[in-house]
Amino acid sequence: MGALHNGHISLIKQAQQVCDEVVCSIFVNPTQFNDPKDLEKYPRPIATDIAMLEQAGCDILFNPLVSEMYDDNEKWHLNIGELEHLLEGKFRPGHYQGVMQVVNKLFNIIKPDVAFFGQKDYQQFMVISKMVELMQMPVKLIMCPIERETDGLAMSSRNVHLTADDRQHALILSKTLSWVKANFNSDNIPQLQQQAEAMINTEPGIVLEYFEIVDGDTLFPATHQTQKVVALVAARAGKTRLIDNMLIV
């Protein structure tokens, strides 16, 4: 959605390693916003974005108008089951329908062989994977690792809204994820989750929405038998909503 940073550019670089042509889309998609104010204030520095893409050697920028992507009376709904309503879906109802709607359009227009998405939006990757499976779309999806600032903060377009204090307090998210990874024991997942929540809740200026330790293939709570474990967090630092996650095992 623009406001590019080195996390986005890392996707371009990875795509260049395996693809003949790399297309980047920039489109602030209105159908995936629950809050009109959030849509209104979402950063749109298109000139800076274009310069970054040129410097990275991206071949094509697809930057359509809303009127080019949507008709006034357009309807969309794809049933992907519980995946839509867990974690992010619980706090942002309808969000993933908007994501699928626009990514479906993008894939039908561009017809990519491979599509690269960042791990920071872990659930989004799973949602798009489910859409591709259900609609039998001929595209391979690749999840690329989270890019972090030197202090551990996950790179995000929303970070520009953080005050200096907010940014410092926001480091508790990555610190807590790292602590869970370092102390992980499949026999005490509920206690780990409680301790993680307590760590974040005691940080000034941070309002926790969720911290969950889940099965990386289903997003259901992890158990001692879970093979692929992921911890995911969402919280507000001041007025800015941030998400992060970490692969635990």
Per-residue burial over 66-89, b if 16 or more Cβ lie within 10 Å, else e, is eeebbeeeeeeeeebeebbebbbb
Count of other CB atoms within 10 angstroms of residue 9: 18
> Is 175 one of the annotated binding-site residues?
no
Residue 46 and residue 63 in contact, taking contact as beta carbons nearer than 8 Å: yes
Angle at which helix 6-18 crosses helix 46-56, to 10 degrees, equals 40
Task: For residue 7, say whether it is annotated as part of any ligand binding site.
Answer: yes
Known binding residue 4? Answer is yes
Place of tokens 């080019």: 68
Per the annotation, does 1 bind a ligand? yes
C-alpha neighbours within 13 Å on the C-beta side of residue 14: 18
Is 178 a known ligand-binding residue? no
- Is 157 annotated as contributing to ligand binding? yes
In angstroms, the CA 207 to CA 238 distance is: 8
Segment (H or E) for 213: strand 206-215
Contact present, 209 and 198 (Cβ < 8 Å): no
174 carries a ligand binding annotation: no
Question: Is 81 one of the annotated binding-site residues?
Answer: no
Please confirm, yes or no, whether 8 is among the known catalytic residues.
yes
- What single-letter amino acid sits at 24? C
**Residue 236, annotated as binding a ligand:** no
| 3 annotated as a binding-site residue | yes
Residue among 8, 95, 161, 169 flagged as catalytic? 8
Consult the annotation and say whether 5 binds a ligand.
yes
Paired strand residues for 208: 235
Can you tell me the distance from the alpha carbon of 38 to that of 230, in angstroms, rounded to the nearest whole number? Answer: 28
Does the annotation flag 17 for ligand binding? no
Residue 244 among known ligand-binding residues = no
Known binding-site positions for ATP: 1-8, 118-121, 155-158
The residues carrying an active-site annotation are 8
Known binding-site positions for (R)-pantoate: 32, 124
Known binding-site positions for beta-alanine: 32
Known binding-site positions: 1-8, 32, 118-121, 124, 155-158
